[in-house]
Amino acid sequence: MASPVPALLRDGELTVEGRLVVASNATLLCRLSGSDGAGELRCVYKPVAGERPLWDFPDGTLAAREVAAYLVSEAAGWRLVPATILRDGPFGPGMCQLWIDHDGTELVDVVAPDAVPDGWVRVLDAVDEVGEPVALVHADDPPLRRMALFDLVVNNADRKGGHVLVAPDAAVWGVDHGVCFHVDPKLRTVLWGWAGQPFTDAEQDALTELAQGLRADLGDDLSAVLSADEVAATAARVDGLLASGRFPGPATGRVPIPWPPF
């Protein structure tokens, strides 16, 4: 069952407090407050008007894709995406998502090839900007593994290390899902450490639940924010994952890692 969206996220007064200047699209840090002054939350607000056009995604659709990612995460019981809705704001309609305080813990890193931490997985070897060898690595962590599976389902074209946040209560969250759900294969991720491994029973069960939901209530909910072809492509991806029974490896002929990776 999906967790309820806080009433303040839907109905609270939205006040802009600042801007995340490193983001490629307009990304605003806001405060949500009740009309009676009771209660307060922080959120990220991304107005559709602030989206940069992309050559491979329809204009004005990134906010809706973020909502779709939240719906899929909730339907699978993964709870990886903070509560996310479409609503009006000071700069027009856009995506509004609960703010997650990052405690500084990094689950993805670049290290010297001989310094991979215990319990971490090597993704690839490369060289840094001065020509020194490095390794891209990530923790072999259950929530991170769920995120890797989630990215396969939503066809995430931009899973950077910086899009993985660890909250003070140790919960792991994924953010920035505006370039997901394309009908063509677009997966670019730093989370390749489980490639080739079979799905667990719990992962199979979650995929089965998604497959059923995509032909019922979840499919209806996604149809409000995605095109019919995108919903059908999502269902086909889930069916393909169930048929294969394992995490795929990177596809040949495509760049499998987002740039920059952080």
Cα torsion at 58, 186, 23, 73 (round to 10°)?
90
On whether residue 159 sits in a domain, the answer given is: no
pLDDT of residue 2: 61
Instruction: Give residue 223's pLDDT.
Output: 98
Half-sphere exposure of 99 (CA within 13 A, CB side): 20
What's residue 55's pLDDT? Answer: 94
258 assigned to some structural domain: no
> Does some domain include residue 95?
yes
Q: What is the pLDDT of residue 38?
A: 67
With respect to residue 137, please indicate whether it lies within any of the assigned structural domains.
no
Does 85 reside within a domain? yes
| Confidence (pTM) | 0.95
| Number of structural domains found in the chain | 1
pLDDT of residue 129: 83
Asked if residue 189 belongs to a domain, the reply is: no
Neighbours of 261 (CB within 10 A): 18
Closest CA to 198 of 244, 152, 153: 244
Which range of residues forms the domain containing residue 32? 1-99
**Could you read off the pLDDT tens digit of each residue along the chain, which spans 262 residues?**
566 789 999 999 999 999 988 888 999 999 999 876 667 899 999 999 999 999 999 999 999 999 999 999 999 999 999 999 999 999 999 999 999 999 999 999 999 999 999 999 999 998 888 889 999 999 999 999 999 999 999 999 999 999 999 999 999 999 999 999 999 999 999 999 999 999 999 999 999 999 999 999 999 999 999 999 999 999 999 999 999 999 999 988 778 998 778 7
Burial 194-217 (b: 16+ CB within 10 A, else e): beeeebeeebeebbeebbebbeee
Which of 42, 136, 59, 34 lies closest to 96, judged by CA?
42
